Chains A and B, each alone.
Chain A
Amino acid sequence: MLEVHALNTFYGKMQVLWDVSLQVREGEIVAIVGSNGAGKTTLLNSILGLVRPASGTVTFLGRRIDGLPSHAIAEQGLAIVPEGGRVFPEMTVRENLEIGAYLSRAWKSRKEMLERIYRLFPILKERERQLARTLSGGERQMLAIARALMSRPRLCLLDEPSYGLAPVLVMEIFRVMQSLREQGITILLVEQNVRRALEIADRAYVLENGHICMEGACAELLESDHIRRAYLGM
């Protein structure tokens, strides 16, 4: 479904991604794990057209999307939950969700989608008329996920959705991700919380200093010595 081939991305003269390749197949949950500064966000931004890779290709549903502006990429059926949520602070919860359904195909069915979202996230229904800036960190993350769903994406990218949240909320976020998969949405999840990510995902890529240094089924990665020592503290 998504195919990233040999991406090299720079900020000025500093190279951040080195020959990064990965694949996401329909229906999968794929995780990209790595520590702070490894280049995870840069990888997502390269896929979304927010930074231009120096070389490499990104193919989504058989079409090249590298070089397209980000609104055109969104139109192909790709949604993002950005790092930190990035909800629109001066808009209400409901308006944030409506903007999620901005694309014309989603806009038509936004009312129906809104009801489904409110069933999945009852707290957002309660907060419907509040400005997003008044929400707690966990609620903002929920809103960002819900906003991404409003566009009825084929593939949803999540950039550290559980970062900075209390353990109960982390559980909640992962529960939601599980239910997304049940609705047929493919997920590419970026996480520093390696254990959780490997528990929920089918496959994972390990990003270290801009290089993919390991990849494989999560069950196998959980057994690997390197992962256990470097990321799981065992």
Chain B
Amino acid sequence: MVTTIIEVVITGLLMGGLYALIAVGLSLQYGVARILNISHGEFIMLGGLTTWSLYTALGVNPLLSLAICGPLAFALGFVIHRTLFKRLLDTAASPGVFESNSMLAAFGLMFIIQNVALIAWGSEIRGYSYLTTPVHFLGTLFGANRLLTFGMALLIGLVFYLFLNLTRTGKAIRAAAQDPTTAGLMGVNINHMLALCFGLGAAMAGVGGVLISMCYPVHGVMGLEYTVIAIIVVVLGGLGSIPGSFMGGFILGLVGSIVTFLEPGLALVAYYVIFILLLLIRPTGLLGR
């Protein structure tokens, strides 16, 4: 019994690390660039399927895929912002108009990316096994791949946290998130920062997809579920807070793991229930003010 509880809790925390990582990406895109990126999960899917192809066709180590998919997703996100969202921003009459237009555009993007992926990879579920060696942990057994992905998610989260807090560009991103007009007056090129943030958010999704594929099967229509999860985690943890995203990720991961243990298949329903309760009781998030 005790072992079962420990197992459920650890499974939840391991999953939560991944949730946190993809939520940090979404939070960056919404918090700074003001784009509620409904296509976030599609970048996760692209990362996962690309890793699968590289691994099965060329034998590329999935860890190496991180270094391939991260920059690729960044470039894709950066270019999409420069072309699509920048244009919407220039033509929008007000920030509110931009927010709704950009969300619709992201919706469109979701369908485009999804269909391209279905053409490229088909609709089959793709999986590979990597580092599945069992590791003993507090009397339970976990695949080494699970522990590795958790460690990587924490590491990437930490590096990004340090980037935001210690570097010149990181500070400019935070300033732009708080007051873009004034940041511009300090010499920060706002358009550049927005594209950078959208790209970084996409990179985190791509990298998240790589990590997910190390443990779970991936397929062309997996994206939306992760988008929903990322949105819930961001609302749980409060927008723009990295520690908040990790806390939200862990909470959601735990809930998912407990519900899956009791009644597999109901996890997503449980997430929605949490989401609705949260919006009713504390819409600013657990750590938000």
Closest to A45 in B: B181
> In the complex, what's the smallest C-beta–C-beta distance from B230 to chain A, in angstroms?
22
Q: Is B144 an interface residue (CB 8 A)?
A: no
Complex Cα–Cα for A211 and B179 (A): 31
Closest to B172 in A: A102
Q: Is A32 an interface residue (CB 8 A)?
A: no
**Assuming the A-B contacts A95-B171, A99-B172, A107-B168, are A90 and B186 also in contact, with contact meaning beta carbons closer than 8 angstroms in the complex?**
no
**Assuming the A-B contacts A99-B171, A99-B172, are A90 and B178 also in contact, with contact meaning beta carbons closer than 8 angstroms in the complex?**
yes
Of the candidates B174, B182, B184, B186, the one having the most CB atoms from chain A within 10 angstroms of its own CB is B186
On chain B, the number of residues with a Cβ less than 8 Å from chain A's Cβ atoms is 17
Q: Is B183 an interface residue (CB 8 A)?
A: yes
The answer to whether B174 and A102 touch across the interface, beta carbons within 8 angstroms, is no
Of the candidates A75, A79, A102, the one having the most CB atoms from chain B within 10 angstroms of its own CB is A102
Complex Cα–Cα for A75 and B188 (A): 9
Complex Cα–Cα for A57 and B178 (A): 31
Residues from chain A with a CB closer than 8 A to the CB of B188 are: 71, 99, 102
The answer to whether B168 and A147 touch across the interface, beta carbons within 8 angstroms, is no
> In the complex, what's the smallest C-beta–C-beta distance from B143 to chain A, in angstroms?
40
Q: Is B189 an interface residue (CB 8 A)?
A: yes
Residues from chain B with a CB closer than 8 A to the CB of A147 are: 186
> In the complex, what's the smallest C-beta–C-beta distance from A62 to chain B, in angstroms?
20
The answer to whether A71 and B184 touch across the interface, beta carbons within 8 angstroms, is yes
Of the candidates A71, A100, A147, the one having the most CB atoms from chain B within 10 angstroms of its own CB is A71
Q: Is B96 an interface residue (CB 8 A)?
A: no
* Chief secondary structure at chain B's binding surface: helix
Q: Is A16 an interface residue (CB 8 A)?
A: no
Closest to A86 in B: B182
Q: Is A88 an interface residue (CB 8 A)?
A: yes
Choose among B168, B178, B187, B190 the residue that contacts A91 (Cβ–Cβ < 8 A).
B178
The answer to whether B175 and A99 touch across the interface, beta carbons within 8 angstroms, is yes
Residues from chain B with a CB closer than 8 A to the CB of A102 are: 168, 171-172, 186-188
The answer to whether A151 and B181 touch across the interface, beta carbons within 8 angstroms, is no
Residues from chain A with a CB closer than 8 A to the CB of B190 are: 71
Residues from chain A with a CB closer than 8 A to the CB of B179 are: 86, 88
> In the complex, what's the smallest C-beta–C-beta distance from A110 to chain B, in angstroms?
9
The answer to whether A91 and B174 touch across the interface, beta carbons within 8 angstroms, is yes
> Which range contains the number of A residues in contact with the other chain?
20 to 34
Q: Is A103 an interface residue (CB 8 A)?
A: yes
The answer to whether B178 and A89 touch across the interface, beta carbons within 8 angstroms, is yes
Choose among B174, B182, B185, B187 the residue that contacts A90 (Cβ–Cβ < 8 A).
B174
> In the complex, what's the smallest C-beta–C-beta distance from A194 to chain B, in angstroms?
26
Closest to A100 in B: B186
Residues from chain B with a CB closer than 8 A to the CB of A48 are: 185
Which residues 75-127 in B have Cβ within 8 Å of A in the complex? none
Complex Cα–Cα for A102 and B184 (A): 10
**Assuming the A-B contacts A88-B182, A107-B168, are A74 and B174 also in contact, with contact meaning beta carbons closer than 8 angstroms in the complex?**
no
Residues from chain A with a CB closer than 8 A to the CB of B181 are: 50, 70, 86
Q: Is A161 an interface residue (CB 8 A)?
A: no
Complex Cα–Cα for A138 and B153 (A): 43
The answer to whether A151 and B187 touch across the interface, beta carbons within 8 angstroms, is yes
The answer to whether A91 and B185 touch across the interface, beta carbons within 8 angstroms, is no
> In the complex, what's the smallest C-beta–C-beta distance from B22 to chain A, in angstroms?
23
Complex Cα–Cα for A86 and B181 (A): 10
Complex Cα–Cα for A74 and B178 (A): 19
Residues from chain A with a CB closer than 8 A to the CB of B178 are: 88-91
Q: Is A160 an interface residue (CB 8 A)?
A: no
**Assuming the A-B contacts A86-B179, A99-B175, are A75 and B187 also in contact, with contact meaning beta carbons closer than 8 angstroms in the complex?**
yes
Given contacts A89-B178, A99-B175, A103-B187, 18 further A-B contacts (CB under 8 A): A48-B185, A70-B184, A71-B184, A71-B188, A71-B189, A74-B185, A75-B187, A80-B185, A86-B179, A86-B181, A88-B182, A90-B178, A91-B174, A99-B188, A102-B168, A102-B186, A147-B186, A151-B186
- What are 30 contact pairs spanning A and B, CB under 8 A? A50-B181, A71-B184, A71-B185, A71-B187, A71-B188, A71-B189, A74-B184, A74-B185, A74-B186, A74-B187, A75-B187, A79-B185, A86-B181, A86-B182, A88-B175, A88-B178, A89-B178, A90-B174, A95-B171, A98-B168, A98-B171, A99-B172, A99-B175, A99-B183, A99-B188, A100-B186, A102-B168, A102-B171, A147-B186, A151-B186
Binding site for B on A (CB under 8 A): 48, 50, 69-71, 74-75, 79-80, 82, 86, 88-91, 95, 98-100, 102-103, 107, 147, 151
Binding site for A on B (CB under 8 A): 168, 171-172, 174-175, 178-179, 181-190
